[in-house]
Amino acid sequence: MKMKRFEMTGVIPRPEWWLVRPDEIETVCRSTVKGKCTQEAVTPAGFPVLRVIYGDYPQTGNPVNWSSALGTGTPEIFGRQKDEPQTVLMAAGIHGCEIEGVILLLNLISLLEKGVDLRGKPRPELVEGASHYRLVLFPCVNMDGRAISPDHRLHADLDECRRAGGGWWKDGTTIRWPKMKEFFPLPLDQVGYPGGYPNSEGYNIQHDASPGNIRTEEARAILRAAEEKCADLFLNFHSHPVSPDSIACGPQIYAGPANIAVGKELAKRCNRALTALDYPFDEKAEIEVTASFNLNTAVQFCCGAPAITFEIAGRDNTGFDRILETGYLWLETIFEYGQEKPFCDRAGRKKAEFNS
């Protein structure tokens, strides 16, 4: 890429295990033995979009897409059958400046490969929980944005974080969120620096979700995996520099009643779990259902699965370890839930649900 990597001023050095640069991400993914790493796309700047799968198995359900399965009145013909494991699809780094989900999935890979994470620490309860599922991992979707973004945002200035993520116009004015969403793609000829939010063609991959007109190979890779692997749950890891709080977000109104119910319960459980790290939690607070339409929505249209967006506090100045362990708690909570009941009960998803 022609753009140089944005360097934060006054931040502490990253620890040795914080491997978030494109070459480091690729090394971790391509070094897997227990997992299967495949290249699912190439970014506009020439980086690989890598997928790592654990616990893969051949599909035994009908060769039908989710839309057609719903039309039969027996939607359970799509996806896993009998005692086959549930499939959890995870993506991080859809915005390349958002590092925290990337480091979570790379550490999960290390745990599944070696029994210890990149710090050399075991997390046996997480490894055991993961063993019950087929995991389809995209550790860094937007490698273009990752290549020009800082390694981390701990102790960073908020305005500098905004410029690193959103970039700036040619007159030097910061491209602020959500102003950046007024363009698809970002008009790069008017930009001094694009930030790590979009890919190198200016596309915000999170909003590359219009059926029939998907613009990026990165989004296509996610949607293809959702359908081919019949995902039962989609976890979409993001982060932000504004608040000290990390949060599991509520579901979308377009998800349908069953997925809304699952999404709300999972979000509440995940947010409650973070009290172990002294995050605030209000048991009485309602989980908001949003009217957002984005990649989560498109994934749900591909496979019928609930989808959850996680927002990790990127400027969590308590340290790198707390950022990682925030993600660990979320994953453990989700894996525990899935042992209690299915994420996506397709047998109960009759067409009438969507007509009620």
Please give the chain's pLDDT, 356 residues, in tens.
478 899 999 899 999 999 999 999 999 999 999 999 999 999 999 999 999 999 999 988 788 999 999 898 899 999 998 889 999 999 999 999 999 999 999 999 999 999 999 999 999 999 999 999 999 999 999 999 999 999 999 999 999 999 999 999 999 999 999 989 999 999 999 999 999 999 999 999 999 999 999 999 999 999 999 999 999 999 999 999 998 999 999 999 999 899 999 999 999 999 999 999 999 999 999 999 999 999 999 999 999 999 999 999 999 888 999 999 999 999 999 999 999 999 999 887 764 454 44
What is the amino acid identity at position 355? N
Give residue 350's pLDDT: 63
Cα Rg of the chain (Å, integer):
19
For 193, the 3-state DSSP assignment is: strand
Give residue 110's pLDDT: 99
DSSP element (H, E) containing 68: helix 66-72
Give residue 1's pLDDT: 47
Please tell me the pTM assigned to this model: 0.96
Q: Candidates 3.60.70.12, 3.40.50.300, 3.40.630.10, 3.50.50.60; correct CATH number of 34-57+64-355?
A: 3.40.630.10
How far CA 17 is from CA of 21, 28, 69, 120, 230, in Å, comes to 12, 11, 44, 9, 33
Give residue 352's pLDDT: 46
Boundaries of every domain in the chain: 34-57+64-355
- Rounded distance, CA 156 to CA 162, Å? 10
E strand intervals along 139-275: 168-169, 191-193, 233-240, 247-248
